[in-house]
Structure 1
């Protein structure tokens, strides 16, 4: 099922185990690999008795070159292997065996270290779940700081935006609502900051309404309206399951007093459009924008920001996280950090538990038409970071040293 889903090369189409799925103990040869800045698979964590040192570069296994081996063992079952972000995030699985019957465990591998190539026979052993979690985190864990803001010693305003989930009962919603309210109340001081950092590390997406609200605070509603329009149209698949999913969103937003008016209107408008199309037996419903209300005079312009705005991205930034980068870059922000992930034109997922009860299928409900950013096209940083993004203090020092060049005026 994983390989079938992966064949679509679409980050919004996947299978995932439910809680009923039986636990499978992993096996490893005493080490796991990461994906280095030099695009090589290198040993990143090891047992004390492992035959390879930290940093050893994988050359081949059983005569298969490292890149091809990773694609066969991991990429086939993960998809989008053309993206550097996928290879980086999943390199840890190259030497983690969970009983996949369609691939064989390597028996001997060649590694390079200290200027020489070494042949290493692999001895596979059990890797308990608790140790596996620790080892995996050590290899390629993403930073995910609590949503909030801080002011650094040099005056930089640092906004940690590690999630955009729209569920009113979830932690992202409960943290983002007061954060955005505080930004609005402090807009005058915010505009005077020498730089503003929008930190998207750990962000897996959710709702693009959050990034739009933040943009409206920083650049003003008029500028945001001028920068929007990253696609020509949106079409939704009309089905009972899609209508049910959007109906649940509508009810959640309606019951949440702090949900933004735009989110509530979107959910109701989408639900009405889908149900209307279903009544006409139409397979697709084409979403159209509501006529824009006149922007009040006091919202036409806001005080310009004194300094640049930086966006920090990591390998995992996808979906609504990418929508945020689309909008903020269009408004003049400078992307720094790592290359992002990417998505196709299919978005907004729902999930369905399969008849076995052990697996759920995740499928998209809508498609963009004429989106400016292409399918599976990542965003590349203006300034690439070569250090460990999990080291927040080092990252902050680096960002504070960056030139303001690279920003585009809205």
Structure 2
């Protein structure tokens, strides 16, 4: 019987947690080996490394996982070990989604969220008999361990092992006092909270509850808004861009928004560009948004004037070539066969095929091999003198949150260099220099993952570097009404 067959047998028996450990061990080891070999065969960093940690963790994490799998006894053990291996790469583009989610969760009745750089109480469950801390009280420590240490040492290790990245802590803060079975967790007996400059210790009461009940009570109030163009006041407009992976209807909406922006940009005094919730997608949409604001000619010349020494290398492999070939119809549908994007990807596929036949492992985007050096460019001062006038003189308030990653960060790269842009809101996420992912499936059926095919070299924004706003919003970034009040009446640029 295959590994996947053994796993399916376990699910049929309905005994995930108690199915023989002799089965879980090979299931885990087979999945780990699949990840390990797939990375070696298809990931760019393996053959042209500038990141020693990546290769070290690829080997070290793999060997640790194989060894720990020998003691695995449950589905939770399997998911923890596989997740820990992927989490160790600390790469938002190397994403693991587990197909099997628990029906119950153990928690202490206290929902913690990260506001700014503090962990604070966002919700308490009145059905718990234990005394509860006040709303927005700051979590200081539990059983003598600082909240930050608990996050770094317990929560992040099996989820996203990047202790220096604030966005990961924002995302996983609710797990400080909750356990969904992922990772090695401690059920603390006491936690200390600070409220009104006074510390108080609370005894924790841990309960096992249905995930559906827990989720209903604790789900973040923020839901990414729809794509929209709104008139705030005379000559003042709010643009929401919650993602760059629009469906067909949303593509039409985006194009309509861009036309509306272009129609008012010469007379507008302010634009609010809101990318809260934008986790990325196709970075071309960000370029199109900038063109709608500043004009095609200005953005095209600006990008030429502010080009840098960075370049991209694609890993050449049969699997990567096949994926890119299959993606061409979708690119044609989105941008047209005559578009720059379609032409570039068509040429890339052809160049990768030739490179594979020649036995090379990497190809520079544009067709050159990895040994070709970047071409010399004009100085920024010389090139900037040739810029046409921007189509708008409006001040642009650029709102980000911790979800801004991938293509959203590419948009931030562009926007923060443009005239009259003020960055407000919360610190963004960050991404590694690995990008342009394709999907993969674990052999066991336990989950699916994404794998990068391309690496940037000499990118101005460094590996896992985030953007910190000029004007930091001190409240809940998901509360749109309160955000608007702060921005319009109390914040950096009152619009009333």
TM-score (normalised: structure 1)? 0.86
Which range moves more in the overlay, 266-275 or 378-387? 266-275
Counterpart contact for 2:107–2:178, Cα < 8 Å: yes
Other structure's SS at 1:94 match: helix
Instruction: Tell me whether 1:79 sits opposite 2:146 in the alignment.
Output: no
Other structure's SS at 1:371 match: coil
1:6 to 87, 91, 102: 87
Instruction: Tell me whether 1:359 sits opposite 2:441 in the alignment.
Output: no
Q: Aligned equivalents of 1:315 and 1:259: distance in 2?
A: 35
Superposition map of 1:159-308 within 5 A: 159-165=239-245, 171=247, 173-184=248-259, 187-228=262-303, 229=307, 232-256=310-334, 261-288=339-366, 301=388, 304-308=391-395
- Residue 116 (structure 1) shift: 4.0
Other structure's SS at 2:265 match: helix
1:35 to 108, 114, 138: 114
Counterpart contact for 2:242–2:276, Cα < 8 Å: yes
Q: Aligned equivalents of 1:156 and 1:176: distance in 2?
A: 24
Query: Residue by residue, what CA displacement relative to the aligned partner does 1:157-215 show, whole Å, maximum 9, x if unpaired?
Result: 211100101xxxx53x5324443345336624232111112110110001110011111
Gap change, CA 1:47 and 1:186, over 3 Å in 2: closer
Query: Residue by residue, what CA displacement relative to the aligned partner does 1:3-47 show, whole Å, maximum 9, x if unpaired?
Result: 2222222211132113xx25341111111211233x232221111
The equivalent of 1:92 in structure 2 is: 174
Instruction: Tell me whether 1:157 sits opposite 2:244 in the alignment.
Output: no
Counterpart contact for 2:96–2:450, Cα < 8 Å: yes
Aligned length: 387
Which protein shows a greater Rg? 2
Other structure's SS at 1:265 match: helix
1:391 to 457, 476, 479: 479
- Residue 253 (structure 1) shift: 2.1
- Residue 272 (structure 1) shift: 2.0
1:319 to 391, 403, 406: 406
- Residue 301 (structure 1) shift: 4.2
Which range moves more in the overlay, 348-357 or 273-282? 273-282
Counterpart contact for 1:231–1:368, Cα < 8 Å: no
The equivalent of 1:296 in structure 2 is: none
- Residue 101 (structure 1) shift: 5.6
Which range moves more in the overlay, 105-114 or 68-77? 105-114
The equivalent of 1:350 in structure 2 is: 438
Gap change, CA 1:365 and 1:183, over 3 Å in 2: same
Instruction: Tell me whether 1:26 sits opposite 2:92 in the alignment.
Output: no
Counterpart contact for 1:230–1:373, Cα < 8 Å: no
Instruction: Tell me whether 1:341 sits opposite 2:425 in the alignment.
Output: no
Unaligned runs of 5+ in 2: 1-81, 369-374, 376-386
Other structure's SS at 1:305 match: coil
Counterpart contact for 2:398–2:423, Cα < 8 Å: yes
The equivalent of 2:7 in structure 1 is: none
Other structure's SS at 2:233 match: coil
Other structure's SS at 1:87 match: helix
- Residue 279 (structure 1) shift: 2.1
Other structure's SS at 1:149 match: strand
Which range moves more in the overlay, 317-326 or 180-189? 180-189
Q: Aligned equivalents of 1:248 and 1:382: distance in 2?
A: 42
1:373 to 458, 461, 473: 461
Query: Residue by residue, what CA displacement relative to the aligned partner does 1:108-167 show, whole Å, maximum 9, x if unpaired?
Result: 3223335543333322112322222233423xx5440001211112431211100101xx
The equivalent of 2:224 in structure 1 is: 144
Gap change, CA 1:182 and 1:69, over 3 Å in 2: closer
1:109 to 191, 199, 216: 191
- Residue 68 (structure 1) shift: 0.7
TM-score (normalised: structure 2)? 0.72
Q: Aligned equivalents of 1:376 and 1:256: distance in 2?
A: 29
Other structure's SS at 1:327 match: helix
Q: Aligned equivalents of 1:143 and 1:331: distance in 2?
A: 29
Counterpart contact for 1:336–1:383, Cα < 8 Å: yes
Which range moves more in the overlay, 147-156 or 234-243? 147-156
Which range moves more in the overlay, 244-253 or 87-96? 244-253
Instruction: Tell me whether 1:129 sits opposite 2:211 in the alignment.
Output: yes
Counterpart contact for 1:158–1:198, Cα < 8 Å: yes
Q: Aligned equivalents of 2:185 and 2:243: distance in 1?
A: 35
RMSD: 2.6
Gap change, CA 1:35 and 1:61, over 3 Å in 2: same
Q: Aligned equivalents of 1:263 and 1:201: distance in 2?
A: 26
Counterpart contact for 2:96–2:449, Cα < 8 Å: yes
